[in-house]
Structure 1
Amino acid sequence: MSNDQTELGPSGKPKEAVKVTKQGFRRFLKLIADTKPSKAWIAAALSLSLVTTVAGLFVPMFTKNLIDQFSKDSLNVTIIAFLALAAAVQAVAAGFAIYMLNRIGQNVVANIRDRLWKKLLVLPVPYYDTHQTGDTISRMTNDTGVVKGLISEHMATFVTGLVSIIGSITILLFLDWQMTLVLFTAIPLTMAILMPLGRQMHNIAKGTQDETAKFTAVLSQVLSEIRLVKSSGSEQLEYERGRQGITALFRFGVKEGRVQAMVGPLMTFVIMTLLVVIIGYGGVRVSSGELTAGELVAFLLYLFQIIFPVSQVTMFFTQLQKAVGATERIVATLDLKEEDPYAGNTLTDAAQTIYVEGLHFAYNEDEPILRDVSFAAPSGKVTAIVGPSGGGKTTLFSLLERYYHPQAGVIRLGDEPIDAYSLYSWRSHIGYVSQESPILAGTIRYNICYGLDRDVSEEELRRAAAMAYADTFISELPDGYDTEVGERGIKLSGGQRQRIGIARALLRDPQILMLDEATSSLDSKSEGVVQQALNNLMQGRTTLVIAHRLSTVVDADQIIFIEKGTITGAGTHEELLETHDLYREFATHQLRLNDGEGAETAVKVTAAGDKAVSTRG
C-alpha cells in the first residue's frame, strides 16, 4: 500500500484511528480499575439510582389509573398516596446516590493524583528538561478533574438513564406496541446525529486539554518570574503569549459550542416531531376507542422518561470522550520510566577518594559536553574545577549527583562505581551548595531542616546557623527562625539565602561537599562572610568546588582546568601558573584586580609568568 493511502476500518474511519480510540477507552477503564474504588459503595450508589428510576416508572401507571377513574365525587386516595410515596422515595434515593457517586469520584481522582504525584517525584531530571512545569501541573489538576466529572456527575445519570429507557420501552410495548414501533423510528435518526458529532467532540476535547496545558505552562512560567518580566519591560510580550493561549482556548470553546448547538436543536427537532406524531396518532386511537385517555397520558409520560435520559446518555458519551482524551495523557505520564531511589546498596562510608574515569557525556548525540574526563578527588581534600564558561563544569556535577548517566566512562567511590549504591543512600552523603541556593516558601527553620528524615533539636539548628554565619541576621528578624521567607526566598538577600543553604548542608553533615559557584553572585562583603561559612563547611570533607573567581580556590589541594569538555591541566595553583597558559591568563586578569587580599598572589602570578617566559627562551 502506498504512503498516501489509508486502510479503512469497518466504520469507515481509518483503522489506526479506530485502534487508538479503543486503546484509549481500555486505558481509561484500566486507570479507573487501578484506583480500586469500593465495589460496595458503587453497588449501593447504583442500587439507589435504580430505586429512583424504578420508582419513577410507576408514576405514569398510577397517573393512567387516576385519569381513567377520575371524577369529582370519587378521588382515589390510594393512588394519590402511592404517587406521593413514589416521589418521596425518588427524592431520598436520588440524594444518597448523588452523594455516594460524588464520594466515589473524589476517591478515584484522589488515587489518580496520588499516583501521578508519586510518579512525578521519581521521574529523572531529563524529564523536567523537556517538559514545562505548567504542562505537568495541568495533568495533575485539569485532566484528573475531567475524569472526576465523568464519574461523580455523569455516571449515575448514564446508568439510570439506560434503565429508564429500557424500562419505559418495555412497559410501552405492553401498553401499546403499535405506538411504540412508531417511537422506534426516531432511534436511527438520533444515532445518525449523535455518532459523528461525538467523534468531533472527542477531537475537540483532546485539543482543549492540550491547549489548557500549554496555557497553564505560560502562566506558571510568567507568574513565577514576574520580577524578571517587569524589570525587562516584557509585560506586552508576555501578554501576547498569554493572549495566544486564551485565543486558542476560545477557538476550541467555540468549536465545542458549535457541536453542542447542533446537538441541541437537532435533538429538539426530533423530539418535537416525535411528540406531534405520537399525540396525533394517539388522539386518533383514543377517538376510536382503541386507547383510553389515561393510557395516552401514560404513554406521553413514558415518552418523556425516554427523551430526557437520552440527552443524559448523550452528555455522558460527550464527557466520556473528554475523559478518554485526558486519560491518554495521564497514562502516558504514568508509563514513563522512573528512578527507584532505594534500589542498590546502602553507602555507609563516603570518606573515600572519588575517581572519574574516561567520562563522556552529551545531552544531544551531536553535541558532546564532556570528552574523556578523568581525575581523582582525594578524600578529605579540596578539588577545584575551573575553566571558561560552557566547558562542562556544572554538567560534571550533575553526573556526580546522578541526575544524568554518562554515555561512556565511570565514576567510582573507592573501588565501587557510584551506580552500585541507591540514589537515596548516595545523595544523603552529599551536601550541595549552588550559585543560587534554592529556598522554598516557608519559614527559615523549615528551609534549614529541609530534607532531613529526623527531628532537629533547637541546639543543632542554632549551631548550624552559627557556623554558616546566618545566626546574626536571623536573630534580627522579628520572628527569628519562624520568619516566612516568601516564594523562592524573595524576602531574603542573596547572601542570606546562601548562608541558609550552607546551614542546611551543615545540618546534613555530608562526607562529600559540592560547591557550584557558591559566591559568584554576591557582593564583596557578602562573599567574605559566605566564604568564611564555606571554610567551616569544608573542614574534613571531600570537597569539589566550581569557581570562576580564582581567588576563592587558590589554596585548593588540586585544581582541574576544563576547556570545551576536556581536562587540559591539573595541579596546584603554583603548578598551573607555570605549566598552563590559559590558567595563567585567568589568574593574571583576575587576581591583579584584588587590591588587598590578592596582592601577594598577583606577585606570584607575575613571577611565575616571568619564569615561564625565561624557561621557554
Structure 2
Amino acid sequence: MKEPVKTNKPKDDSQVAWGRFMSMLGSTHPSKSKIAIGLLIGLFSTIVSLVIPLLTRNVVDARAAKISAGLVGIVVVAFIIQAATGAFSNYLLGYAGEQVVANLRKSVWDKLLRLHVPFFDEHHVGEIVSRLINDTVVLKTLISDQLPSIINGILTMITSIVILLIMDWRMTMILILGVPVIGLIMWPIGVIIRKLSNRLQKQTAAFNGDATQTFSEIRLVKASNGEATETTRGHHRINDLFDTGVTQTKAVSMIAPVTMLVILGVMVSVLTYGGVRVQSGAMSIGTLIAFLLYMMQVISPVLSLAQFFTALQRARGATARLTEILDEGEEVFDKRDPVDLKNQTLHVNHVDFQYTDDKVTLHDISFEAQPNTVVAFVGPSGGGKSTIFNLIERFYEPTAGTITIGDRNISTTGLSEWRSKIGYVSQDSALLAGTIADNLTYGLDRVVTDDEMWAVLKMAYADEFVADMPDGLQTQVGERGALVSGGQKQRLAIARAFLRDPEILMLDEATASLDVQSEDVVQRAINDLMINRTTLVIAHRLSTIVDADNIIFIEHGEITGQGSHQDLYLTHDLYYDYVNEQFKK
C-alpha cells in the first residue's frame, strides 16, 4: 500500500538553524573567485584607510611652515584610492550576492515545478508567488546590499581597534565598553523585529493570494456584483499589513537613535578624556584627531551592523518559508525504459484514494481499458470520476491498489514519458497567455513546423477560424484564453492533443459548457481524435457515451455498475433514470 503524498507543515522560523541558512546559500554556488578578489581588494582598501589618519596626524602636528604640498597630496591620493578600491570591492561582493539570490530563485522556481500537486492544493497561488518573489527580495537585501559593506566594515573595525589599542588603550577601552551596551539594547528589539517580519511576510502572502484570486476571476466578481465584498476583504488585508508595518517601523526606528545615543556618549567620553591628555602634554592634538578618525572607522561599521542586524532578523523568517519549499518531496522525472502502450490494457485494480485522512474519495475501484476502446464514466457529481483521471495522470498516488499498463505498474515508468503518452481535454481546457502557436506546442521537446500545426488545426476543425484571425498562428489568445470563444478554445485544445499524438486519450466533460453549434463541431473533432486510441471519457450527455465499449457508473466513490449501455439500462436503476432524464431534455 502506498501512502498519499503529504506536504510538510509550515515550520516556525525559530526552528530554522543558521546552519540550514548557510547550507541553502552554499547550494547556490556563488562565484568564489569574485568573493576572494572582493575580499582581498577590501582588505587593501582597509589598509589604505588605516594609513589616512596617520597621515592626517602628521599634517596637523606639523607647523604651518613645514606643511608640504606633497604630504597633503599623499593624503588626497590615499582618500581617492580608498574610495575607489572600496567601491570595487563592494561591487564584486555585491555581484556575488546577486548571483546567490538569482541562483536561489532558480532553485525555488525549479523546485516548485517539481512539487507534487497536493502542495498546490494546500497553498494559494499568491502565497507561493510571494515566497518566490518577496521572500527572496528579503534575502537579496541582506546578501547583496548589506553583506558586502558589512564584510569590509568588519575588516576596518577590527584593524582600527588594534591600532587604537596601540595608540592609547585607555581611551580604546571607553570605546569598546559601548559595544555590549549596544548589543544589550539591540537583542530584544531584534527578537521583536524577527517576529513582526515573519508576521508581515505571512500577511503579504495572504494578500497576494487574495489579489491573485480576485483579479484572475474578475469576470465572476463583476458578474456577481462582488466589488463591495472584495473591497472590504482587500481593505482588511491592507489594514493588517499597515498595522504590522507600523509596529515594525516603531521597532526599527528605535535602533538608529539608541545606537547613536550610545555612540555619542562614547565620543563625548573619548573627547573629554583625550582633551585632558592633550592639556597635560601626554598626547598631541594630531594624535587625538587621528584617534577620532580611527574611532569613526569603528563607529561607521557599528551603524552598518545595526542595519545588518535588522535585515538578518527579516531574513530569518524568509529563510524558514523558503526552506519549507526546498524541503518538500518532489516528483521524480528520471529516465527509465521506454513505455510501449500499443496493444497494452490499462488495469485499475482495487484502488482506494483519499485526499484527507478523514474522508475516503474512492473505494475498491477496478476496471480495465483495452486498446483502442472507449471507457465512459458516468454518475452524480462528486462521485470520484475526475479523481480517477488524476490518479492515471499520476498527479496523486493511490492509497491502496495498483494501476498497471500491461503487467507494469505505472508508478515504475518515467513520469515525463508516461504523461507524454496521455492526451487530456477538459471541460475548460487551459490556454496560457501567448500565441496560438505557443499553446499548440506547449511542453513538446521537438521543433514543430507551421505545416504540422495547420494540419492538426484542420483535424480539430479549427483551421478556418485561425486563418481568419489577423495574425494566424501568431494571434494572441489573452490571459487564460480570454480572447477566444469557448468552442474555439476547445478546438485548440483538441488540436494540441492531436499534435501530441497520445496513445491514451482522456476527455473530461469536453463539450459540457458549449452551445449546440460549437458542441457539434467539437464532438466531430473528438470522434476523429478517438480513432485508434484508448479513450477514457467523463460525460453527462448520453450522446457522448452511448456507443462506449464499457460504461462505468460511479457514485459516492464506488463503482455500482458497469457494462454496455443496453446492459446498464436494463440492470441499473440509477442509470435507467439518468438515461430517461436525458431523453426528457
Short-chain TM bin: over 0.9
Runs (4+) of structure 1 exceeding 4 A deviation are: 19-23
Out of 196, 202, 219, the residue aligned to residue 188 of structure 2 is 196
Q: Give how far 1:22 is off.
A: 8.0
Give the structure, 1 or 2, with the largest relative contact order (CA under 8 Å, sep 6 or more).
2
Which amino acid in the other structure matches residue 491 of structure 1?
A: L
Which amino acid in the other structure matches residue 440 of structure 2?
A: I
Which amino acid in the other structure matches residue 195 of structure 1?
A: W
Give the aligned partner of residue 538 of structure 2. Answer: 546
* Distance in 2 of aligned mates of 1:560 and 1:21: 52
* Distance in 2 of aligned mates of 1:279 and 1:108: 43
Q: Give how far 1:199 is off.
A: 2.0
Q: Would the aligned equivalents of 2:13 and 2:319 in 1 still touch at CA under 8 Å?
A: no
Give the aligned partner of residue 59 of structure 1. Answer: 52
Q: Secondary structure at the match of 2:381?
A: coil
Q: Give how far 1:295 is off.
A: 1.3
Q: Give how far 1:70 is off.
A: 3.5
* Distance in 1 of aligned mates of 2:207 and 2:451: 47
Which amino acid in the other structure matches residue 451 of structure 1?
A: G
Could you say which structure has the larger radius of gyration?
1
Question: Do structure 1's residue 39 and structure 2's residue 49 form an aligned pair?
Answer: no
Superposition map of 1:470-509 within 5 A = 470-509=462-501
Out of 398, 406, 416, the residue aligned to residue 408 of structure 2 is 416
* Distance in 1 of aligned mates of 2:47 and 2:236: 50
Q: Give how far 1:30 is off.
A: 0.6
Q: Would the aligned equivalents of 2:378 and 2:552 in 1 still touch at CA under 8 Å?
A: yes
Q: Would the aligned equivalents of 1:360 and 1:371 in 2 still touch at CA under 8 Å?
A: yes
Provide, for residues 240-261 of structure 1, a one-character-per-residue CA deviation record: whole Å limited to 9, x for no partner.
2222222222222222221222
Q: Would the aligned equivalents of 1:150 and 1:320 in 2 still touch at CA under 8 Å?
A: yes
Provide, for residues 530-553 of structure 1, a one-character-per-residue CA deviation record: whole Å limited to 9, x for no partner.
000001101111111100111221
Provide, for residues 155-198 of structure 1, a one-character-per-residue CA deviation record: whole Å limited to 9, x for no partner.
12212222222222222222222222222332232221122222
Give the aligned partner of residue 405 of structure 1. Answer: 397
Q: Would the aligned equivalents of 2:354 and 2:362 in 1 still touch at CA under 8 Å?
A: yes
Q: Would the aligned equivalents of 2:90 and 2:149 in 1 still touch at CA under 8 Å?
A: no
* Distance in 2 of aligned mates of 1:270 and 1:245: 38
* Distance in 2 of aligned mates of 1:229 and 1:114: 34
Give the aligned partner of residue 422 of structure 2. Answer: 430
* Distance in 1 of aligned mates of 2:341 and 2:353: 27
Q: Give how far 1:21 is off.
A: 4.9
Give the aligned partner of residue 9 of structure 2. Answer: none
Give the aligned partner of residue 7 of structure 2. Answer: none
Give the aligned partner of residue 141 of structure 2. Answer: 149
Out of 504, 515, 519, the residue aligned to residue 523 of structure 1 is 515
Give the aligned partner of residue 184 of structure 1. Answer: 176
Which amino acid in the other structure matches residue 26 of structure 1?
A: G
Which amino acid in the other structure matches residue 57 of structure 2?
A: K
Instruction: Select between 377-386 and 452-461 the one with higher mean Cα deviation.
Output: 452-461
Which amino acid in the other structure matches residue 60 of structure 1?
A: P
* Distance in 1 of aligned mates of 2:494 and 2:177: 78
Which amino acid in the other structure matches residue 92 of structure 2?
A: M
Question: Do structure 1's residue 49 and structure 2's residue 35 form an aligned pair?
Answer: no
Q: Give how far 1:23 is off.
A: 4.3
Superposition map of 1:324-403 within 5 A = 324-342=316-334, 344-403=336-395
Q: TM-score, normalised by structure 1?
A: 0.90
* Distance in 1 of aligned mates of 2:174 and 2:409: 79
Instruction: Select between 21-30 and 90-99 the one with higher mean Cα deviation.
Output: 21-30
Q: Give how far 1:343 is off.
A: 5.3
Q: Would the aligned equivalents of 1:411 and 1:417 in 2 still touch at CA under 8 Å?
A: yes
Which amino acid in the other structure matches residue 116 of structure 2?
A: P
Provide, for residues 75-105 of structure 1, a one-character-per-residue CA deviation record: whole Å limited to 9, x for no partner.
2223212211111111211221222122111
Aligned residues: 574
Give the aligned partner of residue 68 of structure 1. Answer: 61
Which amino acid in the other structure matches residue 41 of structure 2?
A: L
* Distance in 2 of aligned mates of 1:498 and 1:220: 25
Q: Would the aligned equivalents of 2:13 and 2:316 in 1 still touch at CA under 8 Å?
A: no
Q: Would the aligned equivalents of 2:341 and 2:405 in 1 still touch at CA under 8 Å?
A: no
Q: Secondary structure at the match of 2:505?
A: strand
Give the aligned partner of residue 175 of structure 1. Answer: 167
Which amino acid in the other structure matches residue 48 of structure 1?
A: I
Question: Do structure 1's residue 139 and structure 2's residue 92 form an aligned pair?
Answer: no
Superposition map of 1:237-248 within 5 A = 237-248=229-240
Q: Secondary structure at the match of 2:554?
A: strand
Q: Give how far 1:20 is off.
A: 6.9
Out of 95, 114, 127, the residue aligned to residue 103 of structure 1 is 95
Provide, for residues 487-534 of structure 1, a one-character-per-residue CA deviation record: whole Å limited to 9, x for no partner.
110000100000000000011111111000000000111000000000
Out of 20, 25, 49, the residue aligned to residue 18 of structure 2 is 25
Unaligned ranges ≥5, structure 2: 1-11
Question: Do structure 1's residue 269 and structure 2's residue 275 form an aligned pair?
Answer: no
Q: Give how far 1:388 is off.
A: 1.0
Unaligned ranges ≥5, structure 1: 1-18, 594-617
* Distance in 2 of aligned mates of 1:70 and 1:521: 95
Q: Give how far 1:477 is off.
A: 0.5
Give the aligned partner of residue 286 of structure 2. Answer: 294
* Distance in 1 of aligned mates of 2:183 and 2:541: 74
Give the aligned partner of residue 127 of structure 1. Answer: 119
* Distance in 1 of aligned mates of 2:394 and 2:340: 18
Q: Give how far 1:294 is off.
A: 1.0
Which amino acid in the other structure matches residue 341 of structure 2?
A: D
* Distance in 2 of aligned mates of 1:524 and 1:402: 33
Instruction: Select between 138-147 and 248-257 the one with higher mean Cα deviation.
Output: 248-257
* Distance in 2 of aligned mates of 1:591 and 1:68: 109
Out of 75, 83, 88, the residue aligned to residue 83 of structure 1 is 75
Provide, for residues 339-365 of structure 1, a one-character-per-residue CA deviation record: whole Å limited to 9, x for no partner.
112254420234422122211111123
Closer, same or farther in 2 for the Cα pair 1:415/1:163, shift >3 Å?
closer
Indicate the RMSD between aligned Cα atoms, in angstroms: 1.7
Out of 271, 276, 282, the residue aligned to residue 274 of structure 2 is 282
Q: Would the aligned equivalents of 1:138 and 1:212 in 2 still touch at CA under 8 Å?
A: yes
Q: Would the aligned equivalents of 1:24 and 1:327 in 2 still touch at CA under 8 Å?
A: no
Q: Secondary structure at the match of 1:185?
A: helix
The percentage of aligned residue pairs carrying the same residue is 46
Q: Give how far 1:401 is off.
A: 1.0
Q: Would the aligned equivalents of 2:255 and 2:306 in 1 still touch at CA under 8 Å?
A: no
Instruction: Select between 282-291 and 534-543 the one with higher mean Cα deviation.
Output: 282-291
* Distance in 2 of aligned mates of 1:482 and 1:572: 44
Q: Secondary structure at the match of 1:383?
A: strand
Which amino acid in the other structure matches residue 278 of structure 1?
A: V
Q: Give how far 1:381 is off.
A: 1.0
Provide, for residues 364-410 of structure 1, a one-character-per-residue CA deviation record: whole Å limited to 9, x for no partner.
23211112111222210111111111111111111111111111112
Which amino acid in the other structure matches residue 433 of structure 1?
A: V
Out of 193, 206, 209, the residue aligned to residue 217 of structure 1 is 209
